[in-house]
């Protein structure tokens, strides 16, 4: 595991965007695994800026996102589809037909999950997977559990995740209770993984996930077993690490 210490959120975002740009430059036809949440927003903003300056070309890139809320339509401003279009896809020259997310409107969970696994498989696999970190150690929407889930699955979101995501919705009742998420097995198959973490409120989970016991109770801890993981976190997030 490669640990990169950033000064603050801006510095973390710039460093993460540099790593993603390097991937696109080294392999223009790469497959990027992308994440939502507030943490990657700064990195996406840098990528858009560098695209606008002419330094980056997304025309060969394919993207697969980690997750999507079950029940939200693409035009719902809280769907992850909407998020990705707002922060990245709508602002760079990525081919919209090569940007993929689980289908939140598919009511049949088994079908939605099997379809998404097929989509990921058809891309040939993820070259670089970007991940944020939930307060309870979730990655994508893989919540603490008794086992690591291999493939795309439908999860019941925990109370703590619902509460954490409440800030994006008008009220807690509007936060969906379920989501489709790429499985831990698929995440671990990515050739490279980049984790971004920011803020004092993530310090304890950074310590538990990356320096503690590997257990499905802390889903991100499995990343310690991957051969090419880079964690870019700011000083606040690393404050409990010596």
161 lies in the site for ligand GLP, by CB under 6 A? yes
3-state secondary structure of 106: coil
Number of residues near ligand GLP (by CB under 6 A)? 14
Site membership for ligand GLP, residue 33 (CB under 6 A): no
Candidates 37-45, 94-102, 108-116, 206-214; binding stretch for ligand GLP (CB under 6 A): 37-45
Nearest C-alpha neighbor of 71 from the set 158, 151, 154, 134? 154
Distance, in Å, from the CA atom of 97 to the CA atom of 79, rounded to the nearest integer, reads 18
Tell me the closest approach of the beta carbon of residue 41 to ligand GLP, in angstroms: 8
Specify the stretch interacting with ligand GLP by CB under 6 A; choose among 121-129, 131-139, 206-214, 220-228.
131-139
Question: Is residue 36 a contact point for ligand GLP (CB under 6 A)?
Answer: yes
**In 207-242, which positions are buried (b, 16+ CB within 10 angstroms) versus exposed (e)?**
ebbbeeeebbebbbbbbeebeebbbbbbebbbeeee
What stretches of 30-104 show up as alpha helix (H) in DSSP? 41-52, 80-87
Per rule CB under 6 A, is residue 183 in the interface with ligand GLP?
no
Residue 55 to residues 16, 59, 122: CA-CA distances in angstroms?
16, 13, 29
**Contact between 132 and ligand GLP per CB under 6 A:** yes
Pick the closer one to ligand GLP by CB: 37 or 104: 37
Task: Based on the shown chain and the rule CB under 6 A, indicate whether residue 78 belongs to the binding site for ligand GLP.
Answer: no
67 labelled catalytic = yes
Whether residue 143 lies in the annotated active site: yes
Is 136 tagged catalytic?
yes
Determine what percent of the chain falls in helix, strand and coil, rounding each to the nearest 5.
40, 20, 40
Residue 165 annotated as catalytic: no
Residues in contact with ligand GLP by the rule CB under 6 A: 35-39, 66-67, 132-134, 140-141, 161, 165
**Residues with catalytic roles:** 67, 136, 138, 143
């Amino acid at each position: 595991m490669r640990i990169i210490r950033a000064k603050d959120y801006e510095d973390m975002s710039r460093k993460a965007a540099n790593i993603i740009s390097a991937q696109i430059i080294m392999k223009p036809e790469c497959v990027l695994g992308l994440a939502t949440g507030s943490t990657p927003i700064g990195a996406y903003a840098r990528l858009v800026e560098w695209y606008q300056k002419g330094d980056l070309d997304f025309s060969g890139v394919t993207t697969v996102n980690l997750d999507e809320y079950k029940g939200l339509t693409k035009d719902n401003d809280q769907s992850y589809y909407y998020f990705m279009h707002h922060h990245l896809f709508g602002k760079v020259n990525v081919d919209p037909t090569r940007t993929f997310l689980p289908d939140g409107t598919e009511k049949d969970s088994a079908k939605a999950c099997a379809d998404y696994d097929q989509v990921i498989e058809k891309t040939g696999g993820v070259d670089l997977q970007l991940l944020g970190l939930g307060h309870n150690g979730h990655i994508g929407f893989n919540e603490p559990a008794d086992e690591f889930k291999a493939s795309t699955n439908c999860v019941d979101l925990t109370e703590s995740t619902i509460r954490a995501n409440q800030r994006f919705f008008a009220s807690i009742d509007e936060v969906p209770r379920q989501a489709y998420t790429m499985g831990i097995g698929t995440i671990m198959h990515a050739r490279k993984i980049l984790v971004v973490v920011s803020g004092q409120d993530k310090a304890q989970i950074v310590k538990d996930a990356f320096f503690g016991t590997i257990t499905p109770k802390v889903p991100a801890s499995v990343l310690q077993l991957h051969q090419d993981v880079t964690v870019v976190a700011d000083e606040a997030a690393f404050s409990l690490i010596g």
